[in-house]
């Protein structure tokens, strides 16, 4: 494969400006699924790391859902101690190469960076990515085993789902010497990392390498096992597991419920991205999963999933791609970086518009959308101004393909077969937010199955908290099973 041409970025102009990152040039981006953002070089990372003030009371750590000691790892980068830097990150983060690419640092750690008060914050995510990528290159180059397996405590934990939450729980408990087995419903581990996020944003070889690191801790992984069908949580206990963590994510698509949504050519973002990413339709016919994308594509929604869908459609041959969002540009939930990338690539955003129906042709294929102009009214309970339709403002847009990207909810399979497991009206599992403990003893849950659709790093944060609670639970079980020495002496 030919190496993509790179658009070179200049280093920081001064201490108030971050070092920009290299990207594939625009012409090549729109016809390729190669990764767009190419990360820092070592030279760029050193320049950016030197901007860090090494604050003694670092606020950036408070903004990190998994609590990475950010100034410590950046200091190691300054000292060119890259192996020590990634070890420092891995003390808290089991998926650093992933988080360095898809974590919304601008709304988390970087939001609290002191440098951001008078300029641009430190690019923490890009520095994390650099040392994580260097680690993966080193492991591949010398066939290094990244971790040493340790003796087991004898306690067994079943983890349901190999997404960000499940992988994090598994890694943390394995580090504590518990025997962990992951059961994944799909044929590949990673959850949303493999089925939801496109190759141009998160290469799947990166995910596989991170999963391999976790397996090297002694974690067992079984794919094509649908818990709730193959086994119930209770049957896992019956088979000798001492605790169960449910991290099965939010993989059930949400629909608009408007006329014409069942027309051919109308996809849920879930189906569309699974076909593109997990089943590799973009490499058809090498992979036998074709997907039809017309010349004019409309994507309904304004989150990162909508951006991923729109940018994928463009790469699959669409001539015109439109993102339709019912609120204003200022309120779009997608990362600014992803919106910028989409618009650079020629995708058009139509704000303050909402579909009212899909219109089909004689063969039952979608040929147009009826849209209505929206205006922002009074604030709702969340404080956001509520969008409302403008009377008589309907208009028609001709399209060949529609992708509905308005959110996902948890699949209810496990909830339905588990007696006594409390859930919400939205189908999420009720948990203690600090421990992930459910209404059933020994059963914990975290990530999207507990919170609804959220970010990768927030799922990982819940996984870390649950791992700590599960560990304490397993220790308490040990204490309960130790006979009272006074009774033995009688």
pLDDT digits (tens, 9 = 90+) for 446-483: 999 999 999 999 999 999 999 999 999 999 986 444 33
Q: What is the mean pLDDT of residues 166-180?
A: 96
Alpha-carbon radius of gyration of the chain: 24
Higher pLDDT, 224 or 477: 224
What pLDDT does 143 receive? Answer: 66
Residue 332: its pLDDT value, please?
Answer: 95
pLDDT band at 11 (very low <50, low <70, confident <90, very high): low
HEC string of 327-348 equals CCHHHCCCCHHHHHHHHHCCCE
Q: Mean pLDDT across the stretch 404-421?
A: 94
pLDDT category, 379, cuts 50, 70, 90? confident
Determine the 3-state secondary structure of 10 from DSSP. coil
Both tokens assigned to 392: 């008589």
Domains of the chain, CATH where assigned: 6-142 (1.10.1060.10), 156-251+410-481 (3.50.50.60), 255-406 (3.50.50.60)
Q: Are 114 and 479 in contact (CB under 8 A)?
A: no
Q: Is residue 310 pLDDT above 70, yes or no?
A: yes
> Which whole number is the average pLDDT over 175-202?
96
Write out the two tokens for 360: 């089909």
Residue 2: the pLDDT is 37
> For residue 383, what pLDDT is reported?
83
The pLDDT score that the predictor gives to residue 119 is 93
**Token pair of 253, please?**
């698509």
Statement: residue 486 has pLDDT above 60: no
Q: What is the mean pLDDT of residues 395-413?
A: 96
Per-residue pLDDT band at 490 (split at 50, 70, 90): very low
Handedness of CA 192, 197, 201, 207 (dihedral sign): positive
Helix (H) or strand (E) holding 374: strand 366-379
The answer, yes or no, to whether residue 1 has pLDDT greater than 50, is no
Quote the pLDDT of residue 16. 85
Q: How confident is the model at residue 283 (pLDDT cuts 50, 70, 90)?
A: confident
Q: How many CB atoms lie within 10 A of CB 215?
A: 18
- Residue 398's H or E segment, with its range, is strand 395-398
Distance of CA 331 to the CA centre of its chain: 21
pLDDT at 10 over 90: no
Counting Cβ atoms within 10 Å, is residue 74 exposed (0-12), middle (13-18) or buried (19+)?
buried
Judged against a pLDDT cut of 80, whether residue 148 lies above it is answered with: no
DSSP class of 197: S
Report the alpha-carbon angle 284-252-286, nearest 5.
10
- pLDDT at 215 > cutoff 70: yes
% of the chain beyond a pLDDT of 70: 93
pTM, full prediction: 0.91
Q: Reduced to 3 states, what is the DSSP secondary structure of residue 358?
A: strand
Question: How many CA atoms within 13 Å lie on the side-chain side of 102?
Answer: 30
Report the C-alpha gap between 82 and 61 in whole angstroms: 20
User: pLDDT by residue (tens digit) across 321-358?
Assistant: 999 999 999 999 999 999 999 999 999 999 999 999 99
pLDDT above 90 covers a percentage of the chain that reads 84
Measure the CA–CA gap between 373 and 353, rounded to whole angstroms.
Answer: 5
Which whole number is the average pLDDT over 100-114?
A: 95
Average pLDDT score, the chain: 91
Q: Indicate if the pLDDT at residue 407 is higher than 70.
A: yes
pLDDT score of 378: 87
Of the listed ranges 67-71, 337-341, 371-375, 476-480, the least confidently predicted one is 476-480
Query: Residue 380: which pLDDT band, with cuts at 50, 70 and 90?
Result: confident
13 pLDDT band, cuts 50/70/90, is low
Range in 309-323, 385-399, 470-484 with the lowest mean pLDDT: 470-484
Q: pLDDT confidence of 151, banded at 50, 70, 90?
A: low
Residue 236: per-residue pLDDT: 96
- What is the rounded CA–CA span in Å between residue 169 and residue 175? 10
Asked if the model's pLDDT at residue 489 lies above 60, the reply is no
Helix (H, G, I), strand (E, B) or coil at 285: coil
């Amino acid at each position: 494969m030919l190496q993509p041409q790179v658009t070179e970025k200049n280093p920081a102009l001064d201490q108030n400006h971050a070092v920009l990152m290299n990207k594939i040039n625009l012409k090549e981006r729109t016809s390729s699924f190669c990764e767009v953002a190419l990360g820092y070089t070592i030279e760029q990372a050193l320049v950016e790391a030197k901007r860090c003030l090494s604050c003694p009371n670092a606020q950036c750590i408070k903004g990190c859902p998994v609590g990475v000691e950010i100034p410590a790892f950046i200091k190691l980068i300054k000292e060119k101690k890259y192996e020590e830097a990634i070890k420092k990150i891995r003390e808290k983060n089991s998926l650093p190469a992933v988080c360095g690419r898809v974590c919304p640092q601008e709304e988390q750690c970087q939001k609290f960076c002191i440098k951001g008060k008078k300029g641009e914050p430190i690019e923490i995510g890009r520095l994390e990515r650099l040392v994580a990528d260097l680690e993966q290159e080193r492991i591949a180059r010398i066939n290094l085993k990244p971790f040493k397996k340790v003796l087991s405590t004898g306690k067994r934990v079943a983890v349901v789902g190999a997404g960000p939450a499940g992988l994090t729980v598994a890694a943390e408990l394995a580090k504590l010497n518990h025997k962990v087995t992951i059961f994944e419903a799909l044929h590949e581990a990673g959850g949303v990392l493999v089925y939801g996020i496109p190759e141009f944003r998160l290469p799947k070889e990166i995910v596989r390498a991170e999963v391999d690191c976790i397996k090297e801790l002694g974690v067992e992984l079984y794919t094509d096992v649908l818990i709730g069908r193959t086994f119930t949580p209770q049957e896992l206990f019956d088979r000798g597991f001492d605790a169960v963590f449910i991290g099965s994510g939010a993989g059930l698509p949400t629909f608009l419920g408007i006329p014409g949504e069942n027309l051919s050519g109308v996809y849920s973002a879930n189906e569309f991205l699974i076909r593109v990413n997990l089943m590799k339709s973009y490499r058809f016919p090498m992979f036998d999963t074709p997907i039809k994308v017309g010349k004019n594509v409309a994507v309904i929604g304004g989150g990162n999933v909508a951006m991923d869908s729109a940018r994928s459609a463009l790469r699959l041959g669409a001539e015109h791609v439109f993102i339709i969002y019912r609120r204003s540009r200022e309120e779009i939930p997608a990362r600014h970086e992803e919106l910028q990338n989409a618009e650079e690539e020629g995708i058009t955003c139509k704000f303050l518009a909402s579909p009212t129906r899909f219109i089909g042709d004689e063969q039952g294929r979608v040929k147009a959308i009826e849209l209505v102009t929206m205006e922002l009214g009074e604030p709702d309970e969340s404080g956001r101004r509520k969008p409302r339709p403008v009377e008589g403002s309907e208009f028609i847009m001709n399209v060949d393909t529609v992708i509905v990207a308005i959110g996902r909810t948890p699949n209810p399979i496990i909830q339905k077969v588990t007696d006594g497991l409390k859930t919400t009206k939205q189908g999420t599992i009720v948990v203690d937010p600090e421990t992930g403990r459910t209404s059933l003893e020994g059963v914990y849950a975290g990530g999207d199955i507990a919170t609804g659709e959220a970010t990768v790093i927030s799922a990982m944060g819940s996984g870390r908290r649950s791992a700590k609670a599960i560990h304490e639970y397993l220790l308490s079980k040990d204490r309960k099973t130790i006979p009272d020495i006074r009774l033995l002496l009688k």
